[in-house]
Amino acid sequence: MADVLTPRQRSRCMARIRGKNTRPEIVIRKKLWSLGLRYRVNYKLPGRPDVVFVSRRLAIFIDGCFWHRCPLHYQSPATNRLFWETKINSNVQRDGDVDAQLAREGWTVLRFWEHEVKNDPDRVIQSILTQVRGQQ
């Protein structure tokens, strides 16, 4: 199946995809902040977690359904399939490596899917609160 966009249009669309400060990340950060929880962003840890509670050694990632192969929502692209499969496979492998490295260093890692934040952000917040309060 051929791409419906020209290479220039496709390039422009792909360039607009954010790697950080995505809508789901901002939703979670605003809710945590409104609850009085203070955290770090852009904290230098392997994998660059989206939210970090340094004193609690808690790293939180919010993974995009496409980029990290969500078991519910991932659909393999129809065009340039080899490139995308290689790219997504390496993302998934890297996620596992990052989780293992952070665990070895004494960090707790929480990962949430983009769709979890969109569908039920309060449940995501509750999971984070449980972890934060459980470590105090």
The predicted-structure confidence for 92-114, as pLDDT tens digits, reads as follows: 999 999 999 999 999 999 999 99
Q: Which residue has the tokens 């129809």?
A: 78
pLDDT at 76: 85
Mean pLDDT of 7-36: 84
pLDDT at 16: 67
Strand-pairing partners, residue 51, are: 60
Specify the pTM: 0.86
pLDDT at 86: 94
What are the Cα distances from residue 5, in Å, to 1, 12, 113? 12, 10, 28
What are the Cα distances from residue 23, in Å, to 27, 44, 72, 93, 105? 6, 21, 20, 24, 29
CA distance 100 to 43: 18
CA distance 45 to 29: 18
**pLDDT digits 0-9 by tens, 59-79:** 999 999 998 999 998 888 888
pLDDT at 2: 67
- Under 8 Å between Cβ of 117 and 24: yes
pLDDT at 19: 67
**pLDDT digits 0-9 by tens, 50-59:** 999 999 999 9
- Measured between its terminal Cα atoms, the distance across the chain in Å is 54
Domain 18-134: give its CATH code: 3.40.960.10
Helices and strands counted in the chain (H then E)? 5, 3
Q: What percent of the chain has pLDDT over 90?
A: 71
pLDDT at 75: 86
